Amino acid sequence: MNLKRSSALLGVLAAAGALTLSACGSDNNSSANGAAKIDVACGGKSSLKASGSTAQKNAMDRFVAAYQANCSSAKLDYTGSGSGAGVNDFLGNQTDFAGSDSPLDPAKGETDKAAARCASPAWNLPAVFGPIAVAYNIPGIDDLVLDPPTIAKIFSGDITAWNDPAIKALNSNKADKLPSDKIGVIYRSDESGTTDNFQKYLTAAGGYAKGAGKAFNGGVGEGVKGSDGTSAAVSTTKFTITYTEWSFAKAQKLSTVRVLTTATSNDPKPVDLTAETAAKAVDAAKVKGEGNDLVLDNSSIYKPTTGGAYPIMLATYEIVCSKYSDADTAKAVKAFLTSAVGNGQTGLADAGYVPLPDAFKTKLTTAINAIQ
Domains of the chain and any CATH numbers: 18-129+318-370 (3.40.190.10), 132-279 (3.40.190.10)
Average pLDDT over residues 5-25: 36
pLDDT tens sequence across 159-169: 999 999 999 99
- Using 50, 70 and 90 to split pLDDT, how confident is the model at 289? very high
Is residue 22 predicted with pLDDT exceeding 80?
no
Whole-number Å distance between alpha carbons of 191 and 53: 10
> Would you say 143 is a known binding-site residue?
no
Q: What is the residue type of 96?
A: D
- % of the chain beyond a pLDDT of 90: 70
Answer yes or no: is 101 a known binding residue. yes
For residue 177, give the DSSP letter. Answer: G
Question: Could you tell me which residue, 369 or 282, shows the higher pLDDT?
Answer: 369
* Mean pLDDT calculated for residue range 79-86: 92
State yes or no: 55 annotated in a binding site.
yes
pLDDT digits (tens, 9 = 90+) for 46-63: 999 999 998 898 899 899
Euclidean distance between CA atoms 348 and 368, whole angstroms: 20
Q: Give the end-to-end CA distance of the chain in Å, rounded to a whole number.
A: 52
207-231 confidence digits (pLDDT tens) = 999 999 989 999 999 999 999 999 9
- For range 336-342, the mean pLDDT: 97
The predicted model gives 177-201 an average pLDDT of 94
Mean pLDDT of 340-352: 91
Residue 3, pLDDT above cutoff 70 = no
225 in Cβ contact with 232 (< 8 Å)? no
Spatial distance between the Cα atoms of 337 and 127, rounded to a whole number of angstroms: 8
Q: Evaluate if residue 20 carries a pLDDT over 50.
A: no
Secondary structure (3-state) at 308: coil
pLDDT of 115 over the 90 cut: yes
**54 in a labelled binding site:** yes
pLDDT of 29 reads 41
Confidence of residue 24 (pLDDT cuts 50, 70, 90): very low
Question: Backbone phi, then psi, for 52, in 5-degree steps?
Answer: 135, -130
Q: Is 192 annotated as a binding residue?
A: yes
Q: What is the reported pLDDT for 34?
A: 58
Q: Is the pTM of this model over 0.85?
A: no
Q: What is the pLDDT of residue 321?
A: 98
What are the angstrom distances between the C-alpha of 308 and each of 171, 242, 254, 298, 362? 19, 23, 22, 17, 25
Region for residue 245 given its phi and psi (left: phi exceeds 0; alpha: psi -120 to 50; beta: otherwise): beta
Mean pLDDT of the chain: 88
Query: How would you classify the pairing of strands 255-256 and 122-137?
Result: antiparallel
Neighbouring residues of 326: CB distance < 8 A, sequence distance ≥ 6: 45
Does residue 290 contact residue 103 with C-beta atoms inside 8 Å? no
Cβ contacts of 300 within 8 Å, gap of 6 or more: 284, 285, 286
96 is in an annotated binding site: no
